[in-house]
Structure 1
Amino acid sequence: MLKTSKFLLVLIMVAGVMAPLFANGQDEAADYDYVLGKVPYTFEHAYHQAVAKELTSYAKQMYNAKVVVVDGQASNEKTLAAVENLVAQGVDAIELHCGDAGLMTTAINIAHEAGIPIVTTLIRPTEMMAPHVQPQETPSSLTMGQIAATQWLKANPDKPCKVAMLNFGGIEQIWQMRTGAFFDGVKSIDPSAELVTMLNGAGSTVTSMEVTLDILQANPEVNIIFAANDEMALGALAACEQLGRGVMDNGVPLTEVIAGLDGSEAAMLEIYDPSSSFKMTHGAVRDVARAEIDTMMAIVKGEIPMDKYMETPVLSPVVDFYNTPIEEAQRFLETNFFYEGDLKAEIKK
């Protein structure tokens, strides 16, 4: 496929998802039975855009419920303000996805004091006192580490795995579910594998490109890169390409193997390009969004208590160049990211 700027491609994806989401959010004429609140981590990530769009549609279809979405902007201050805003509006229930376990607990207390149910996702709060939706990321991250190591060593048996990681900073649960699990997978294939460095990519394509340039210039031996979301993986790929790396020979690693997480359209266009070194991801939008809505509505309807911790597990399937047919990836995008294109045709452009 023709190489488009990673930054332009991500911006195009944002515009495509956000426009219909805001259009739905402005549908004031409908007669709703419930009003729910949603605070995503940040709309800068394609995953959170898609989750918000899916849950908005699903809530209306299944429960005649309106969802008020307030962006947390990857900021503790703005996330907490968003929760307080929804509480002030008197919504029937709130769903929160943020990266700070302590802030989760604070938000739960604020909502509960107002008699409003709240559901959390991914990062478990420090005090477990409300229902929680838990994507099953750990086994999928481990599997990707195994695939990355296997493919690298198959092509380069004399070069042990040298791993670099891009994360969101010091979030312990991200290590457990994503970065640490991925490295465990690598080590299960190559016991001599080394974690060369792990730095904060801030969830950003631009920041991750800059960080990865520094990593590779200081540690050119790095041959596996795991990024804790697809935006960071795309930034890592852009850095590799700037240094004359980032390439494969029909899927055979020449310089490195890159893995991401979430399963966005921008990621899939690289994963199924046989000349790109970005080769795997995992994620689940539709099932997470629907679990969030179903859990909120179960509380609202009195089917489960608002102040008792219980987890709803959601699978996070791996999609990779080596084991996942492109037709399956096409269905994944259609199901999770509202994709209307032809992935195979796009790759050939």
Structure 2
Amino acid sequence: MKSIKKITIALFAILPLVLSSLTANLQVKAEEEYTIGLAISTTNNPFFVDLQEGVEEAAKEMGATVKIVDAQDDATTQLNGLDDLITQGVDILLINPVDSDAIVPAIKNANEAKIPVITIDRNAAEGEVVSLVASNNLDGGKMAAEFIIEKIGKGAKVIQLEGVLGASATNERGEGFEEGAKDQLELIASQSANFNRSEGLTVMENLLQAHPDVQAVFAQNDEMALGAIEAIKAAGLEEEILVIGFDGNDDGLEAVKEGELAATIAQQPKEMGHLAVEAAINHLKGEKVEESIASPLELVIKDTLEEK
């Protein structure tokens, strides 16, 4: 009997510790219970690599897990990847659309499955979206036009390299630039190079043949700007043509520092990823999330970098 009493006393003694341990484990699980599905447009672009890293970093900090599908800039591949994430039953989707129109069926599928959606950098044309986390692309486009006017003057002949046709970032940056350029700059050509460096090179080579008198180039991202610079250098026109990009990725900032790229409208993709995850977790917890969350922009020139 004494031994039974001792065992009973011992069990009661350790019971609080066991309960405490179980409670702690439940708390950990509660913090890690959210699974975020991330559909990224491409990991071939440094900007979106940084965006993905921002999402992963924030999710780790907040105790969530992330499942990622990479569309490689193909809208059909993105739809298939999102179908997989929906089937897996993720708690929320973060979508960086390849194409704002083509993504609509996936958004509607998620809506039917009661999986909330947050879009990043680019919006969806239709469907129910909790929030869009993005830079103000309209303002960024205007900033680019204003910079060219300031550096070259009114009436300057300008070429625009557009991003992926149909993407909201392409539409908005173009709209902002053209609004800023109206009656101030002469837009002599505007052509898509799909946010891609090698296409930026090829498209710029062809445009230089048709428009050798161009004075400035606005590329809707740094990758296209860097490709355009290679074409301009090959033509021996680097002293004649000013190039401005958009994004502020590492290569773009280095080109600004070296004086090859006149300026870039710098986004903060990692911060964008952090903001998207924060919005996702807040929504899942039942907190109010703004329909539009702005990520900051900055015009970066060589002097800016030298001051830092």
**Same-fold status (TM-score > 0.5):** yes
- Answer yes or no: is the 8 Å Cα contact 1:280–1:321 preserved in 2: no
1:84 equivalent to 2:83? Answer yes
Deviations 1:180-204 (A, max 9, x none): 32233344xxx35211111110211
Aligned to 2:113: 114
1:188-337 correspondence runs (5 A): 191-246=183-238, 254-274=239-259, 276-304=260-288, 310-321=291-302, 324-328=304-308
Q: Distance in 1 between matches of 2:170 and 2:52?
A: 25
Deviations 1:277-314 (A, max 9, x none): 44323212133111210121122212248xxx822222
- Bigger Rg over Cα: 2
Matched AA of 1:178? R
Deviations 1:148-169 (A, max 9, x none): 221123xxx9xx3111111125
Q: Secondary structure at the match of 1:141?
A: helix
* Structure 1: 4+ residue segments shifted above 4 A: none
- Answer yes or no: is the 8 Å Cα contact 1:272–1:279 preserved in 2: no
Structure 2, unmatched stretches of 5+, are 1-27
Deviations 1:306-332 (A, max 9, x none): xxx82222222221235x24344xxxx
Q: Distance in 2 between matches of 1:232 and 1:116?
A: 35
Deviations 1:233-257 (A, max 9, x none): 10000100110122xxxxxxx3111
Q: Secondary structure at the match of 1:166?
A: strand
Q: How many residues in Structure 1 have an aligned counterpart in Structure 2?
A: 278
Q: Distance in 2 between matches of 1:186 and 1:257?
A: 15
User: 1:42 Cα deviation (Å)?
Assistant: 0.9
Structure 2 CA distance for partners of 1:194 and 1:223, relative to 1, 3 Å: same
Give percent identity, aligned residues only: 23
Q: Distance in 2 between matches of 1:85 and 1:166?
A: 34
Matched AA of 2:197? T
User: 1:215 Cα deviation (Å)?
Assistant: 0.3
Q: Which moved more, 1:164-173 or 1:200-209?
A: 164-173
Aligned to 1:23: none
- Answer yes or no: is the 8 Å Cα contact 2:122–2:167 preserved in 1: no
TM-score by length of 1: 0.74
1:166 equivalent to 2:161? Answer yes
Aligned to 2:14: none
TM-score by length of 2: 0.83
Q: Distance in 2 between matches of 1:94 and 1:212?
A: 37
- Answer yes or no: is the 8 Å Cα contact 1:283–1:318 preserved in 2: no
Q: Distance in 2 between matches of 1:170 and 1:39?
A: 19
- Answer yes or no: is the 8 Å Cα contact 2:94–2:117 preserved in 1: yes
Structure 1, unmatched stretches of 5+, are 1-29, 247-253, 329-349
Aligned to 1:142: 142
Q: Distance in 2 between matches of 1:327 and 1:162?
A: 31
CA RMSD of superposed structures (Å) = 2.2
